[in-house]
C-alpha cells in the first residue's frame, strides 16, 4: 500500500476486525515492519496489518477492493520483486506466514523433513509457490513438486482449496506462479522420512582450486547422483588474505563416512577452513540475512551441465576486478551457485506445473552488496554485464541438438531470484499463455500483480 490511507479508512478497518493489529507510518514499529532483505523491495506502505485467521485475510482483501487500496502479502521478506506447523501422517501443514525454521523444528519431532529453504529464515510461501530449491531437492525435486494442497484467499475474498482433485487448474498455476493468484493461508506439504543426521558445514578454499570445485559440482549434477548430495559454491572476498576465496557448503544426507568418500576430491585439497560435521537436518541451513544497512542488488541465471570451468574462471577474474574497482562492495558481495542433482526435478515435464525453469542446469546468483548509495550505478552495471554473459552462455548451449527437451525449453531464470522485474513471458516461458488465461479467470482485476504482472 504505497499511498496514504485515511484515518477514516483505518477506523473502518478497526471496526470490521476489532482485534486486528494495524501499523501506520506514524507507528514506532513502522520502519522495522516494512524492511526487506532486498532494499529495492522496500515500499512505503500506507499500513501494515497482521491477520490471524483465514476470515481476517478474506475481510482485508474485500476491504482493500472496496477502497481500491493496493495490497501485497509478506512471508519471510526475502522476495526480490517487491511483493507454524503440525504433522498429519506424512503430511506437514504450514500456516501462512510460517518460516522454514519453524517448520523444520516441528517436523523433526516426527522424524520428517520437507523440501524447504536452505536458509531457515526464508518464508514458506514465496519459496513453495514459485519453485523452491532446497537441500532435499536432489532426492525429491522442487518445493512446488512437494505441495499437496493449498487453502487460498482469492482477490474477491472467497476462500478455496486447490489440489490435484479440487480446482486443479488453479493448483497448476499455484505451483510456480502462486503469488499472482491469491494469498495462501495454509499449505499441505509432503513430509519425507528424516531420522538420520546430515553432513554439512562451510569449507574455504583458495581460488586456485576452482577447477576441482567445478568438477565436484558437475559430479553432483550428473543424473546418476542418487539424491544424497547438494553443494553450495560461493565466491567472496577475504579481508584477511585480501583476495577472492571460494566458500563451499557441501551437504550429504547420509553417514559421515559416505559423505567424506563422496566429497573426497574437496577434502583432499586440505581446505583452509573445514567446519563440515554431522548435524540434525533442522540445523543444516544458514541465515541469508546480512547484518546492518547494506544495499543489495540481485540477478540470477542458469548454467547447463556440465559447467564449463574455463568460462567460470573468466567470470571469477572479472568478479575480482569489480571488487578492486569498488572497495565498498568487497566485504559482502557474492557470486553463488546452488548445485543439486537434477533427476528428480526433471522427472516432471516443463508444462506439468507453472514453474518453467526445469532442466539439467544449476542456478547462478550474482549479488553485489555495498553501503554507499553512490555506488548503485556501477554495481548495477556490473551486475547486468555478468548476467548477460551467463545468459549468452546458457542460450548458446540450449542450441545443442543433443540436449534433452526439458532443458531446451527451460527459461533459465528463477522468479525468486529476479531482482529487476523480468517480464512474465521471460519467466514463465512455455507456460505463459495458459497462466494469462487462468489469471483472467481467478484475478481479472489484477489485484495480485506485485509479484509478476500477468495482465
Question: What are the structural domain ranges in the chain?
Answer: 7-66, 85-194+434-442, 198-424
Give the whole-angstrom CA distance, residue 409 versus residue 277.
39
Contact criterion met (CB below 8 Å) for 227 and 341: yes
CATH 3.30.465.10 fits 85-194+434-442, yes or no: yes
SS3 153: strand
pLDDT tens-digit map of 376-415: 999 999 999 999 999 999 999 999 999 999 999 999 999 9
Give the whole-angstrom CA distance, residue 247 versus residue 207.
10
Contact criterion met (CB below 8 Å) for 47 and 1: yes
213: DSSP letter: H
Instruction: Pick 49 or 171 by higher pLDDT.
Output: 171
Q: What angle do CA 382, 385, 387 make, to 5 degrees?
A: 110
SS3 148: strand
What is the pLDDT, as a whole number, of residue 48? 74
Task: Name the phi and psi angles at 144, rounded to 5.
Answer: -65, -30
pLDDT tens-digit map of 104-154: 998 998 899 999 998 888 889 889 999 999 999 999 999 999 999 999 999
Distances (CA, A) of 11 to 14, 17, 20, 71, 154: 5, 10, 11, 18, 24
Question: Residue 297 corresponds to which cell in the numbers above?
Answer: 542488488
Give the whole-angstrom CA distance, residue 329 versus residue 327.
5
Q: Map grid coordinates 569449507 to a residue.
A: 203
Per-residue confidence band for 85, with pLDDT thresholds at 50, 70 and 90: very low
For the whole model, what pTM was predicted?
0.82
- Its CATH architecture, for the domain 198-424, is 3-Layer(aba) Sandwich (3.40)
Give the bridge partners for 92, in sequence order.
87, 189
Task: Name the phi and psi angles at 142, rounded to 5.
Answer: -80, 165
Tell me: pLDDT of 41 over 60.
Answer: no
Contact criterion met (CB below 8 Å) for 379 and 364: no
Q: Strands 203-206 and 91-95, how do they pair?
A: unpaired
Amino acid at each position: 500500500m504505497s499511498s496514504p490511507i485515511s484515518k477514516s479508512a483505518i477506523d473502518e478497518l478497526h471496526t470490521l476486525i476489532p482485534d486486528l493489529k494495524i501499523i501506520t507510518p506514524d507507528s514506532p514499529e513502522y520502519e522495522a515492519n516494512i524492511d526487506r532483505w532486498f532494499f529495492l523491495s522496500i515500499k512505503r506502505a500506507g499500513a501494515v496489518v497482521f491477520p490471524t485467521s483465514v476470515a481476517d485475510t478474506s475481510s482485508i482483501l474485500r476491504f482493500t477492493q472496496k477502497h481500491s487500496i493496493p495490497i501485497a502479502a509478506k512471508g519471510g521478506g526475502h522476495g526480490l520483486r517487491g511483493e507454524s506447523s503440525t504433522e498429519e501422517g506424512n503430511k506437514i501443514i504450514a500456516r501462512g506466514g510460517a518460516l522454514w525454521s519453524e517448520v523444520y523444528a516441528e517436523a523433526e519431532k516426527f522424524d520428517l523433513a520437507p523440501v524447504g529453504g536452505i536458509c531457515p529464515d526464508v518464508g514458506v510461501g514465496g519459496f513453495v509457490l514459485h519453485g523452491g530449491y532446497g537441500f532435499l531437492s536432489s532426492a525429491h525435486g522442487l518445493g512446488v513438486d512437494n505441495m499437496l494442497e493449498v487453502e487460498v484467499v482469492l482477490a474477491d475474498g472467497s476462500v478455496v482449496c486447490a489440489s490435484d482433485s479440487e480446482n486443479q487448474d488453479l493448483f497448476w498455476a499455484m505451483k510456480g506462479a502462486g503469488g499472482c493468484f491469491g494469498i495462501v493461508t495454509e499449505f499441505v506439504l509432503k513430509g519425507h522420512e528424516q531420522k538420520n543426521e546430515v553432513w554439512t558445514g562451510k569449507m574455504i578454499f583458495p581460488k586456485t582450486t576452482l577447477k576441482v570445485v567445478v568438477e565436484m559440482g558437475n559430479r553432483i549434477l550428473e543424473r546418476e547422483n542418487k539424491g544424497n548430495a547438494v553443494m553450495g559454491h560461493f565466491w567472496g572476498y577475504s579481508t584477511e588474505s585480501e583476495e577472492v576465496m571460494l566458500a563451499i557448503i557441501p551437504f550429504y544426507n547420509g553417514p559421515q563416512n559416505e559423505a567424506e568418500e563422496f566429497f573426497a576430491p574437496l577434502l583432499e585439497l586440505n581446505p583452509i577452513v573445514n567446519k563440515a560435521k554431522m548435524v540434525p537436518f533442522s540445523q543444516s541451513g544458514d541465515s541469508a540475512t546480512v547484518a546492518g544497512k547494506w544495499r543489495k542488488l540481485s540477478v540470477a541465471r542458469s548454467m547447463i551441465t556440465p559447467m564449463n570451468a574455463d568460462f567460470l574462471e573468466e567470470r571469477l577474474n572479472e568478479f575480482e576486478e569489480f571488487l578492486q574497482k569498488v572497495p565498498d562492495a568487497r566485504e559482502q558481495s557474492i557470486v553463488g551457485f546452488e548445485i543439486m542433482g537434477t533427476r528428480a526435478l526433471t522427472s516432471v515435464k516443463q508444462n506439468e506445473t507453472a514453474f518453467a525453469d526445469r532442466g539439467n542446469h544449476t542456478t547462478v546468483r550474482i549479488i553485489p552488496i555495498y553501503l554507499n548509495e553512490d555506488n548503485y550505478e556501477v554495481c548495477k552495471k556490473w551486475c547486468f554485464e555478468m548476467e548477460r554473459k551467463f545468459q549468452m552462455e546458457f542460450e548458446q548451449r540450449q542450441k545443442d541438438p543433443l540436449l534433452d527437451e526439458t532443458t531446451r525449453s527451460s527459461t533459465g531464470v528463477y522468479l525468486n531470484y529476479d531482482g529487476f522485474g523480468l517480464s512474465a513471458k521471460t519467466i514463465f516461458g512455455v507456460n505463459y499463455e495458459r497462466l494469462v488465461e487462468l489469471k483472467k479467470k481467478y484475478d481479472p482485476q489484477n489485484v495480485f500483480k506485485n509479484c509478476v504482472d500477468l495482465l
